[in-house]
Amino acid sequence: MSATPEAMVADLIARVSTRNYTIGIIGLGYVGIPLALTACKAGFPVIGFDIDAPRVAQLNRGESFIKHIPTTAINEAVKDGRFVATTDFDRLKEVDAIIIAVPTPLSKQREPDLSYVENTAEAIAPRLRKGQLVVLESTTWPGTTDEVMRPRFEKTGLKSGVDFFLAFSPEREDPGNENFSTSTIPKVVGGDGDEALKLAVAVYNALVVKTVPVSSSATAEAVKLTENIFRAVNIALVNELKVIYDKMGIDVWEVIDAAKTKPFGFMPFYPGPGLGGHCIPIDPFYLTWKAREFDVTTRFIELAGQINTGMPHYVVDRVAEALDRSAGKGLSRAKVLVMGIAYKKNIDDMRESPSLRLIEILESRGATTDYHDPHVGVIPKTREHASLTGRKSVPLTDANVAAYDVVLIATDHDAVDYKALVKASKLVVDTRNACAKAGITGGNVVKA
């Protein structure tokens, strides 16, 4: 007589508590690697899966390919025998929990591209066995776990909540954030049924400081979208305020710094040259797409998206205006140095970086562009900006800087000496308020 789901889960939870439980992680990137290291540190054996053979080989040598994740951490996990990476998905049969952390980008039509999730589910299905927990962490629209994942798994004849257990727990990584790591960020967990939720909570309780159980996987999926839409809408608001206040001769950064002294009812968000990272520029469109199925118009969210995606064009217009006023020179004859190619400061993460779009717009208007970034020596291949692949960061010397008509600060890395940069530059257009924060108010600095 086979064990009941309740008895099976009770036994699995007991194994979690003794660390006699192997965790498999599919997708060894900015989410998967920190999660794998966290699980290793908590005492679990971990098998990492990825289709990128060179990356797998690099990890098995104990080497990091992400700047803010130290090689020592990976090397220690490999040497201890707790972590191994592989391209062999047949080894999924060896793991007790399968955690999926693969990309969920947008198509060229700005619609959800679930191909990575779907392909991963198809790879898991023939290898799925009784008792396994499968957790999707990739950000997606509410209903993906139930409507996309579960049917593929149940085609095998196994039943969710009876033979295997299915859950969703959104990733909450913030690359380069020194105040929070994977283990210190609370984890929202939603399961396909009570037993799946119990088991998923038990696993994450062993990994992170706190779990936040919710009523369903769809609710957990909605939580992640809500978090990122909140940021996207508020960033759009301050981006719009920046444009308005600039016309009035008012410094939006000064306004925000004064407003945030109010101890209640205000939360500071800051403008920029556009949205970057894998979440904020993408996630709102997952909800707007799904909402159409229910005949709901997401006007507020879509308006925020329009404002944010339009910011690179606004910045380039400001560069052109500043060049015309300071030097009487058109953008089509200008040499531009873009400062910072990563999507935010002090990391090497290029995902959805607005700097790539800025370069494309500048060059479409005839400008000659280069970039400098202390964390990104060469622009890697990206889906949307393939033509920029392989471009190299130029050295930041006074002579080099002086050769450009304008320096555009797109990412405010701390490693840059902004005083020396401004001193050597003919003109600086600052989208991050980096110069003011460094105490520089030179006449050749224009905020954008």
Name the class of domain 230-447: alpha beta
Res 383: pLDDT: 82
Positions of the chain with pLDDT under 50: 1
Taking each helix axis from N to C end, the angle separating 299-327 and 283-291, rounded to the nearest 10 degrees, works out to: 140
H helix runs in 42-193, sequence order: 53-60, 71-79, 115-124, 144, 150-154
Angstrom CA distances, 111 to 23, 106, 289, 290, stand at 32, 5, 7, 10
Q: Among 266, 263, 264, which residue's Cα sits nearest to residue 255?
A: 266
User: Is 371 in a helix, a strand, or coil?
Assistant: strand
Helices (H) and strands (E) in the chain, counts: 16, 13
Q: Are strands 165-168 and 187-191 parallel, antiparallel or unpaired?
A: antiparallel
Please list, in sequence order, all residues whose beta carbon lies within 8 angstroms of the beta carbon of residue 147, skipping any fewer than 6 positions away. none
CA–CA distance, 287 with 111 (Å, rounded to integer): 10
Following CA atoms 412, 418, 424, 427 in sequence, which dihedral angle do they give, to the nearest 10 degrees?
Answer: 50
CA–CA distance, 220 with 201 (Å, rounded to integer): 13
CA–CA distance, 240 with 237 (Å, rounded to integer): 5
Q: Which residue type is seen at 419?
A: K
DSSP letter string, 292-318: GGGT---HHHHHHHHHHHHHHHHHHHH
pLDDT tens string 268-287: 999 999 998 878 888 888 99
Angstrom CA distances, 206 to 40, 305, 431, stand at 11, 37, 42
Residue recorded with tokens 């990492």: 48
Res 442: pLDDT: 77
Known catalytic residue: 435? no
Name the class of domain 5-215: alpha beta
Q: Among 170, 177, 266, which residue's Cα sits nearest to residue 220?
A: 170
Residue recorded with tokens 């970057």: 276
Q: Where in the chain is the domain with CATH 3.40.50.720?
A: 5-215, 230-447
CA–CA distance, 443 with 440 (Å, rounded to integer): 9
Res 59: pLDDT: 97
Q: What does R_g of the chain's alpha carbons equal in angstroms? A: 24
DSSP letter string, 222-291: HHHHHHHHHHHHHHHHHHHHHHHHHHHT--HHHHHHHHTTSSSS-------SS--SSSTTTHHHHHHHHH
CA–CA distance, 77 with 369 (Å, rounded to integer): 42
pLDDT tens string 34-56: 999 999 999 999 999 999 999 99
H helix runs in 83-216, sequence order: 115-124, 144, 150-154, 194-205
CA–CA distance, 295 with 288 (Å, rounded to integer): 10
- In the set 117, 279, 307, 323, the catalytic residue is 279
What is the 8-class DSSP label of residue 3?
A: P
Following CA atoms 306, 312, 315, 317 in sequence, which dihedral angle do they give, to the nearest 10 degrees?
Answer: -80
In the numeric block, which tokens belong to residue 391? Answer: 């471009």
